Structure 1
Amino acid sequence: MSSVASQVILHPTVGQSLKVLGTTLGRDKIYRATQYFARFFAWLLISRGYKLEATRWNALKSHLALARKLLRLGKPLENLQAALRAAQATGDLKEQVTTIGRQLGYLGYLSYDAIVWANTVRFITLKPATAQKVTKTANRFWLAGILFSLAHAVFKAGRLTKEATQLRQLGEKDLGGENARDARLRAIEVLRSGTRRQFLIDIFDLWIPAAGLGLVDLNDGVLGIFGFITSVIALQTQWAAVNSK
């Protein structure tokens, strides 16, 4: 029995999972996936008349959302640093501008989200109308950040496609060898894959702040599924990044 337990506990997958859980981003994505699944499942139960059973899932959703706000308290500074680095970088102007816009959008979103957290835990006290305005402002910044991110993905994908086409058209003498060209093409494909993944995440996440602002009419079931899908995709990316080291 102890041998079986040891094989389970010491299994490589368990070790890889612990690596992911050892990162703030990894924990956040696991919490987020659970939070949005709880949002979907609570809606499903309520829609079928199981209001009492839905209470625990709504509570889980709320507590995980609050925990995630706490985890992200220092994140706006990272976004500010990323925006400053993008402003100082050289490269495609459209990508540079959209990167700055995306980071400033997330900076505003997470800053106002921190105020929402402080009000929720009673560290500060806001009037209900003020709290609602703060939440809406956070959603506006979130939506703006996602829109900039989508624009950035479009511009970057176009540039990478153009670069890949040009490389395929170059002869070996022009690039210094077929191996160098193939290596660069593989690197471009990795970048394109990451860009497509982020674009997919943004397409699904877009509807969450849009619904919060009343721009679209989507129920918690749809939004819960959207959030769960993007959380799983982001978690897979973090899993690969952590366990490739």
Structure 2
Amino acid sequence: MVLDTVIYHPTLTKFISLLNKTAGREKILRLLQYLVRFLAVQYSSGLNRQLQSEFTIVRKILRFFKPLNHIQDAAKLYDNKIAPDHWVRWLSVIKNVGYIGYLSLDQVNLLRILKLVPSTPITAKKVPRYTNWFWFAALVAGLITDFRNLYTSQRKIEASLTLEGNAPTEKASSEKLNAFYNQRFAAFRRLVWDSVDTFIVLNNLQFLRNDESSVALAGVATSVFGLQDLWKAT
């Protein structure tokens, strides 16, 4: 009975469902990659660095066709002429284009690591740098979107608070206000997420020169954010 309780526990069932998704496995590997990266700095272990390299390769393989998702998302956003906020629509298009470039060039990095593409000054140095530039462009578009969403949700909250509702509509107004508060929290959370990822990419591009452990912990934090969203969606 105890074994059945564990095996059929809803949390375990949800975890198995998460593992069955490619995105779930990739996010878990990202978390492990940055954790191992942090441990490699703390303990200077060759095994830790080897594990980090293995996790990186597997993640790149799992994301091989992911640019197709962003191509489709960008096309849908571009075609959505009746979007409620055209600023957010165009920023989201730019964000997806950035991720298309980032993930596509990252596959060149994978092929180089697997020695299917020769290691040259272009493939070994320029392509990784352009990869990070595309990621940075996507994050900048995301950050502007986050600020825009924060602004619009705050305006909605202020407008709702100034409205004088009568008794029959009081409950509906309260529910709508709570929805606006949730939108503001989601926008702020996403802003923190994108800001931490920007910290990582700025270190990759060497505009910032923080120590490896700080970058690794930043990667752990954003990996947890990603896993939280996938867990809720599972």
- TM-score of the aligned structures, taking structure 2 as reference length: 0.91
Q: Provide the residue aligned with 1:202 in structure 2.
A: 194
Instruction: Provide the alpha-carbon RMSD of the alignment.
Output: 1.8
- Of the three residues 203, 219, 228, the one matched with 2:220 is 228
Q: Provide the residue aligned with 1:72 in structure 2.
A: 63
Q: Distance in 2 between matches of 1:41 and 1:5?
A: 34
Q: Given the alignment of the two structures, is residue 82 of structure 1 paired with residue 80 of structure 2, yes or no? A: no
Q: Given the alignment of the two structures, is residue 149 of structure 1 paired with residue 142 of structure 2, yes or no? A: yes
Q: Distance in 2 between matches of 1:197 and 1:234?
A: 11
Can you list the C-alpha shifts for 1:156-206, whole angstroms capped at 9, x where unaligned? Answer: 110111012112222336xx8233323322322232222222111111111
Q: Distance in 2 between matches of 1:181 and 1:154?
A: 25
Aligned positions of 1:104-115 closer than 5 A: 104-115=97-108
Q: Distance in 2 between matches of 1:22 and 1:188?
A: 33
Q: Distance in 1 between matches of 2:141 and 2:67?
A: 17
TM superposition shift of 1:217 = 0.4
Identity, in percent, stands at 29
Q: Provide the residue aligned with 1:51 in structure 2.
A: none
Q: Provide the residue aligned with 1:190 in structure 2.
A: 182
TM superposition shift of 1:55 = 0.9
Moved over 6 A (4+): none
Q: Given the alignment of the two structures, is residue 124 of structure 1 paired with residue 117 of structure 2, yes or no? A: yes
Can you list the C-alpha shifts for 1:123-171, whole angstroms capped at 9, x where unaligned? Answer: 2224144321100000000011111111100011101110121122223
Can you list the C-alpha shifts for 1:30-79, whole angstroms capped at 9, x where unaligned? Answer: 11110000001101112xxxxxxx11111111111111111111111111
TM superposition shift of 1:229 = 0.9
Q: Given the alignment of the two structures, is residue 92 of structure 1 paired with residue 85 of structure 2, yes or no? A: yes
SS at match of 1:171: coil
TM superposition shift of 1:234 = 1.5
SS at match of 1:79: helix
Q: Contact conserved, 2:109 with 2:123, CA < 8 A, in 1?
A: no
Q: Distance in 1 between matches of 2:180 and 2:215?
A: 33
Q: Provide the residue aligned with 1:169 in structure 2.
A: 162
- Of the three residues 204, 211, 226, the one matched with 1:212 is 204
Structure 1: which amino acid aligns with 2:24?
Answer: G
- TM-score of the aligned structures, taking structure 1 as reference length: 0.88
- Of the three residues 52, 56, 61, the one matched with 2:47 is 56
Q: Distance in 2 between matches of 1:189 and 1:60?
A: 42
Larger relative contact order (CA 8 Å, sep ≥ 6): 1
Q: Distance in 1 between matches of 2:89 and 2:200?
A: 26
Q: Distance in 2 between matches of 1:117 and 1:211?
A: 21
Q: Distance in 2 between matches of 1:185 and 1:88?
A: 31
- Of the three residues 16, 21, 25, the one matched with 2:19 is 21
Q: Distance in 2 between matches of 1:85 and 1:34?
A: 33
TM superposition shift of 1:107 = 1.0
Corresponding residue pairs, total:
231
TM superposition shift of 1:100 = 1.5
Q: Distance in 1 between matches of 2:106 and 2:40?
A: 23
Aligned positions of 1:39-54 closer than 5 A: 39-46=37-44, 54=45
Give the 3 Å change call, closer, same or farther, for CA 229–109 of structure 1 in structure 2: same
Q: Distance in 2 between matches of 1:7 and 1:223?
A: 40
TM superposition shift of 1:13 = 2.0
SS at match of 1:162: helix
